[in-house]
Amino acid sequence: MASVQKEIIIDADPAAVWAIIGDFTDGPLRMAPGFVTESRLDEPDVRVVTLADGTVARERLIALDNERRRLVFSIIGDTMQPTHDNASMQVLPHGDGRSRFIWIHDTKPDDLTLVMGAVMDRGLSIFKQTVESASEHLS
């Protein structure tokens, strides 16, 4: 099994960042509007996320920890077909009202980490821009 980990610093309060990440149903749409075109609940703990390129992922909620600002989910079916996937997202304070966002995917087969990493990079770029822009409008 291989892992891919991405971290970014976001110029926004951790509570504001967590408000998006901790929203299991609509978080992906709020995180990367345009890149994510749909996010909906299919079962009480399963969301279906559709990307602009047509990729569809069924993701099962494993844990949602509001105190630690940590979300854990697993891709249980999608167009990439992992045999195993476990992902976590966590928001940590990073001083001066900023946030450190950590996103990890453990996946099998190993070569899916290349695809996952590219999707994560694109999503994080949009997320940072979206959140920081919204934060500036509130200031």
CATH topology classification for 2-138: Alpha-D-Glucose-1,6-Bisphosphate; Chain A, domain 4 (3.30.530)
Domain ranges in the chain?
A: 2-138
- In total, the chain counts a number of residues equal to 139
Give the C-alpha separation, 94 to 32, whole Å: 22
Helix (H) or strand (E) holding 59: strand 56-65
| pLDDT tens by residue, 49-61 | 999 999 899 999 9
Q: Judge whether 108 and 4 are in contact, CB under 8 Å.
A: no
Cis peptide preceding 28, ω within 30 of 0: no
| pLDDT tens by residue, 118-134 | 989 999 999 999 999 88
- Structure-token pair, residue 13: 């309060």
SS3 category, 68: coil
Q: Closest Cα partner for 28 from 138, 120, 133, 136?
A: 120
- Does the predicted TM-score (pTM) go above 0.75? yes
Q: How many CB atoms neighbour CB 18 within 10 A? A: 22
| pLDDT tens by residue, 83-102 | 888 999 999 999 999 999 99
pLDDT band at 82 (very low <50, low <70, confident <90, very high): confident
